[in-house]
Amino acid sequence: MRRRALLRREHTIIAMLLCLLTGAPGSSLHAAQLPQVSIIIDDMGNQRESGLKALSLPGPVAYAFLPHTPHAAELAEVAHRNAKEVILHLPMQSHTGRPLGPGGVTAVMDRVDLMRVVSAGLRSVPHVSGVSNHMGSLLTRRREAMGWLMDLLRVRGNLFFVDSRTTRLSTALEVAQQRGVPSTSRDVFLDNELDEAAIIRAFERLLTIARRRGSSLAIGHPHDETLAVLRYMIPRLGAHGVRLVPVETLIRTRESLRPPSPAAARFRSAKGTGTGIDYRRVYFPGYGNQSFSLGQAASTR
């Protein structure tokens, strides 16, 4: 009885995948003109085996590593060697009070503490191209804290930001755009329901959004169910009339289509005035009286 039920479930999933493929519109567009899809695998670093499985996915999938986790540095090196994007998955305080784990930032931190913790997180994960938020349903609502974070990323000059959108009240993307940080936000969570059929439905939403808007970004996790669906679907994206691109490419495309922001222009014209803060040099507790530029603080071991 159990075997028959498992077989029926497997046949249902196969039928959904075939329906998804055969229902995809054919495309005569040049590959460079196809709608863009980016995929980030979150919560990397705690488990080596599942991390290595995730890193074996084909194509330019991005990987977001939790800071100070046992296998983050090793797995990030593997990702880099295989031309995969590496993202710092920065733990941020949630409204539910869930434990952050190491390297988290909270609403009670001041500017210097937040920058010190983020800089330490950046040191813990090599080859970082950008930062995303892990949880953060409380902190991403705080414009001041998001401003401190984006100032650090802006001064670094080479990091993008992805708002995981764990709350519709998040201000992170708006603040990032205002401060001139390359940025975007998540469109689809692939595995809120850890079930192959549900993951396939979420993947279909990803494709629908990409075709309608020109691009779409999904976040998943290194679960066996998620990896199985992605391993099957990624090589077949062309049949759906979309293409997989690095997150940085998707951000550049989206920003090229976005009209200029008056708020960003006002910020650029006024930056460095009236704040009393020199974001280029900050004293970090633990370094005595020595000061570091933010770029130096993020790279000093």
Distance CA(132)–CA(170), nearest Å, equals 13
Alpha helices in the chain (DSSP H): 2-22, 48-55, 72-81, 111-124, 143-156, 172-178, 196-213, 224-233, 247-257, 262-270, 294-299
What kind of fold does domain 36-258 have according to CATH?
A: TIM Barrel (3.20.20)
Q: Give the residue ranges of the chain where pLDDT is below 50.
A: 6-7, 11, 15, 22, 26-28, 271-301
Domains of the chain, residue spans: 36-258
Confidence at residue 10, expressed as pLDDT on a 0 to 100 scale: 56
The per-type count for the chain, helices as H runs and strands as E runs, is 11, 11
Nearest CA to 211 out of 38, 35, 37, 22 is that of: 35
As to burial, measured by CB atoms within 10 angstroms (0-12 exposed, 13-18 middle, 19+ buried), residue 113 is middle
Confidence at residue 87, expressed as pLDDT on a 0 to 100 scale: 98
Question: What predicted TM-score, i.e. pTM, was given to this entire model?
Answer: 0.82
